[in-house]
Amino acid sequence: MRHIISLLVENEAGALSRISGLFSARGYNIDSLTVASTEDPTLSRMTIVSVGSDRIIEQITKQLNKLVDVVKLQDFTEGNYIEREMMFIKVKAQSEPQRAEVHRLSGIFRARVVDVSETTFCIELTGSGDKLDAYINALQENDVIEVVRSGSMGILRGEKALTL
Amino acid sequence: MELSGSEIIIQFLKDEGVKHLFGYPGGAVLHIYDALHNQDDVEHILVRHEQGATHAADGYARATGKPGVCLVTSGPGATNAVTGIATAYLDSIPLVVLTGQVPSHAIGSDAFQEVDAVGVTRACVKHNFLVKDLNKLAETLKKAFFVATSGRPGPVVVDIPKDITAPHIKIPYAYPKTVNMRSYNPNVKGHPRQIKRAVELLLSAKRPMIYSGGGVIMSEASDELRQFVRKLGYPITQTLMGLGAFPGTDPQFIGMLGMHGTYESNMAMHDCDVLIAIGARFDDRITGVTSKFCPYAQVIHIDIDPASISKTINADIPIVGDVKAVLQAMNKLLDKPKLPIDKAALDNWWKKIRSWQSQNSYGYENKSGLIQPQAAVEELYKVTGGDAYITSDVGQHQMFAAQFYPFDEPRRWINSGGLGTMGFGLPAAMGVKHAFPDKDVACITGEGSIQMCIQELTTCLQYDTPVKIINLNNRYLGMVRQWQEFFYEKRYSHVNMDAQPDFVKLAEAYGHVGIRVEDPKDLHDAMKQAFALKDKTVFLDIITNREANVYPMISSGKAHNEMDISPMQQKIQTAMKAKGEAI
C-alpha cells in the first residue's frame, strides 16, 4: 500500500543522505522524497512516499524514527490530510490546432501556461499524483518534451499539525 | 580555562572518565597527539593497525560496560577502522571513534589522505558527526558519548578537521555535564500495562520458554534476569551474545539456541506455547526459517529498540524499554502473582526437555588419537576454572567455545556475533586485558582468524598485556570447509591453510612464548603451563582434528525441530522420530 510519511528533520548536512541511505541500505521502496527548510531554520520538512506491506511500512517508520536527525515523524496515510504535487511540463505547440488543444486541456485541469516559445508551451500544474498522471496521459505522447515533478508533499487537515 | 581544540579533546576525555584510548597517529591528528604527550590521565595504546584499535576498544567496552574510545587519522586511518566500527554496530557496542580529517578548507578537494569519513561510516554507525565549529567541539563530543552509551548502544564517529585542533586557537572550555538532544530520547521504562499483560501470559503458560540475548548484558540486568528465571522456574536458553547473563552451569539453562545450539533448546523453542524474548533480536542464526519459527507460541518481546520489535518475528506483547527496568517491574509482579503457575504442566514440560537433553547433542567422539577442538576448549575451561575472560574469532572455534565453555558471569564471553569479524579476537583480548590486568584473558581462535590481526602481538608486548592465544589449528578455514562438506559435496574450494607460519617461532619472534601441542596427552600440561606464565603472552598452537564438525546444526531454510545432529547421535534421533516425541 502507498504511504505518505511526513518528517521534521534537523537541518544539518548529512541528514538527507542518512534518510535516503536508510532506504537503499534496507531495500525499501521510495516513490518520492521532497525536502526544504521550514519557518524554523534549524528544521527541514520532508515528505516521503513509499509503497510496501504494513510490516515494511512499520519498519520504515521505526527505522526513520531511530535516526538521530529525525525529530518527529508521522504517517499521514491513516488520517485526514491534503496532498499535492507540482509539475512543469514542456509540450510541443507548433501548429494552431496543437496550441488550442493544449489550452483546452489546461482549462480542464486548471493548469497554467507559464512560458511560451515559438514551438513550445511550458505548463504548470498542481494536484494529486493521479491528476498529474491524467494530464500527461491526455496529451499526445509525441508532444511531451520534458516533465519535471516535485514529488508529493502533505499536510494534516484541521487543527492537527506536525510541529515541535 | 582557555584551550585549543586538541587540548579540549584530551581534557574532555579526562572529564568523561576515559582511561584508555586506542589509536594510531597520522597527519590529520598530529595536533591531538601533541596534546596527548606529557599527560598521563588518558593512557594511549599504540596499536599496529586501526582495525586493531577498534576491536581493542570494543573488547574493552564489552568487558567493562564503559564506552571504548579510539583515535585514528583521516583517510586510510578511518577506512581501516570501518570493519571494527561495523563489528560494534552489529552487536550494539558503545564505541566513540575520533577520526582526523583534512583541514576544513581542503574538504572535498581530494586532499592527501582525505576520505569522507562521515559518508563512509554512515551505514555502520549509530550516529556520526563532522565538527565544523571549534565552539561546538566539546558539546559534540558529549553528544557522541551520550548517543553511544544510551538507548540501544552503538558506535559513534566524530570526524574532526585538522584546523579545529590547531594549537594556537584557544577558546574557553567547560565540561558539558549534560546534553540536550530534542531528536533523541530513548524510552527506558516499559509500558506498565504491557508488562502486566506479559506477566499474566507467562503465568498461564503450559510450555514456557525464556530466550534472552545480549541486551540483558548491555543493560546490566543479569541479577534481574536470574531472579526472574528462578522465580518462575522456567527453562531458559540464551543467544550467542547473551551467554553468561544467566549462569551457564545452572540446571535451568538448557543451552544456547540457534544454528549450533543444543537440541533441547531448539526443540523447546519449537514446542513452547509462550515465548519471552528478553533483549534479543531474533537474528536469522537464531530463528532458522521464520515461517516455521515457534509455531505454537505467543511471543512477548522486551527490547529498548522499537525497530527490533516485530522486525522478523511478530510480537504478541511488545514491550519497548530497558531490560533492567522491565525485569524489575516483572519481578515485582511475580512476588505477588495473580495466577498460580501450572506446576503439573511445568513438570511435564521439564520432563520432555530433560528427555531431549539426555541425547547430549554436543557429544563428540574423542578417540581418534587426534586433539578434538571441543576437548581443547573443555581443557581450557578446567584449567581456568571457568573464570577467564574469553574472546574469540569467527568460525568453528567460536562455536566450540560457546558450546564448551559455560559462562557463569556476564561480560566474560566476548565475540563478534553479528558481523562475524575474523581478526576480532586478539585485539579484543588486548582491550580486555587493559581493563582487567589481573584477570586471565584467553583468545580462542583458529589459524585463519588469528592471521587477520596478528600484528597486535607487538602491541601486547609493548604494553605488557599478557593474553593466552588458544589457536585451534586445523589447517582449514573450518566453518567454510564444513559447509562445503555438507552442501557442496566435499568440494573444498580454497579453504586449505596448510601453508602457514610456524606459530611457535612467530610468537617467539614477537617476543612471546609459543607452545605447540599435537598429542592429546600433552594438552592439559601445555594449557597449565600457558596459564602459569602469568606475565607472558603465550601462543598455544593446538593441532586439531582437521575434519571435526560443529554439531548439532540447523541448516539454512530449516526449522528448530529439523536439526542435524552428529553422526554419532543419528541413531538416537531416528529412534526419537519413530516415537514421535517432537510435536
Q: With CA atoms as reference, report the closest residue to A82 among A25, A138, A161, A21.
A: A161
Q: Do A55 and B310 touch (CB under 8 A)?
A: yes
Task: Name the residue in chain A with its Cα closest to that of B144.
Answer: A68
Task: Provide the pLDDT for residue B169.
Answer: 97
pLDDT, mean over chain A: 95
Q: Do B122 and A71 touch (CB under 8 A)?
A: no
Looking at the complex, report in whole angstroms how far the Cα of residue A39 sits from the nearest Cα belonging to chain B. Answer: 17
B413 close to B437: Cβ distance less than 8 angstroms: no
The pLDDT tens digits of the residues spanning A86-99 come to 999 999 999 999 99
B431 close to B87: Cβ distance less than 8 angstroms: no
Task: Name the residue in chain A with its Cα closest to that of B121.
Answer: A18
Q: Which three cell numbers stand for residue B3?
A: 584551550
Interior angle at CA A80, CA A75 and CA A84, nearest 5:
80
Across the interface, which of A13, A25, A62 has its CB nearest the CB of B306? A62
Task: Provide the pLDDT for residue B577.
Answer: 55
Give pTM, 2 decimals.
0.95
Residue % of chain A over a pLDDT of 90: 95
Mean pLDDT score, A137-142: 91
- The verdict on domain A82-153 having CATH code 3.40.50.9100 is no
Task: Provide the pLDDT for residue B556.
Answer: 84
Q: Position A153: which residue type?
A: M
Q: Which residues of B467-506 are buried (b: 16+ CB within 10 A; e: fewer)?
A: bbbbbbbbbbbbbbbbbbbeeeeeeeeebebeeeeebbeb
Residues 6+ apart with CB under 8 A from B264: B254, B255, B353, B356, B357, B359, B361
Task: Provide the pLDDT for residue B566.
Answer: 84
β pairing state of A153-156 and A81-92: antiparallel
Across the interface, which of B119, B126, B307 has its CB nearest the CB of A62? B307
DSSP string, B305-337: -GGGTTSSS--SEEEES-HHHHHHHHHHHHHS-
Phi, psi of B392 (to 5 degrees): -145, 165
Q: Do B130 and A14 touch (CB under 8 A)?
A: yes
Read off the DSSP letter of residue B372: P
Domain borders along chain A are 2-79, 82-153
Q: Which three cell numbers stand for residue B113?
A: 589522505
Say if A2-79 and A82-153 have the same CATH topology: yes
Q: Do B305 and A66 touch (CB under 8 A)?
A: yes
- The verdict on domain A2-79 having CATH code 1.10.1200.120 is no
Chain B residues lying within 8 Å of A59, measured CB to CB? 307, 311
Q: Best interface-test mutation with B: which of A66, A71, A163 has the largest number of B CBs within 10 A?
A: A66
Task: Provide the pLDDT for residue B217.
Answer: 98
Q: Do A58 and B310 touch (CB under 8 A)?
A: yes
Angle between helices B192-203 and B323-335 (to 10 degrees): 60
Tens-of-pLDDT digits for all 583 residues of chain B?
A: 899 999 999 999 999 999 999 999 999 999 999 999 989 999 999 999 999 999 999 999 999 999 999 999 999 999 999 999 999 999 999 999 999 999 999 999 999 999 999 999 999 999 999 999 999 999 999 999 999 999 999 999 999 999 999 999 999 999 999 999 999 988 788 999 999 999 999 999 999 999 999 999 999 999 999 999 999 999 999 999 999 999 999 999 999 999 999 999 999 999 999 999 999 999 999 998 999 999 999 999 999 999 999 999 999 999 999 999 999 999 999 999 989 999 999 999 999 999 999 989 999 988 779 999 999 999 999 999 999 999 999 999 999 999 999 999 999 999 999 999 999 999 999 999 999 999 999 999 999 999 999 999 999 999 999 999 999 999 999 999 999 999 999 999 999 999 999 999 999 999 999 999 999 999 999 999 999 999 999 999 999 999 999 999 998 889 999 988 888 767 555 545 544 444 3
Q: Which three cell numbers stand for residue B349?
A: 514440560
B58 close to B88: Cβ distance less than 8 angstroms: yes
Task: Provide the pLDDT for residue B38.
Answer: 83
Q: Where are the alpha helices (DSSP H) in B315-413?
A: 323-335, 343-357, 373-384, 396-404
- Total count of residues recorded for chain B: 583
Chain A residues lying within 8 Å of B126, measured CB to CB? 68
Task: Provide the pLDDT for residue B364.
Answer: 93
Task: Provide the pLDDT for residue B188.
Answer: 81
Tell whether A161 lies on the interface with B, counting CB pairs under 8 A.
no
β pairing state of A112-116 and B2-4: unpaired
A86 close to A126: Cβ distance less than 8 angstroms: yes
B3 close to B173: Cβ distance less than 8 angstroms: yes
Distance between CA atoms of residues A121 and A90, nearest Å: 6
E strands, A76-164, in order: 81-92, 112-116, 120-127, 144-149, 153-156
B215 close to B278: Cβ distance less than 8 angstroms: yes
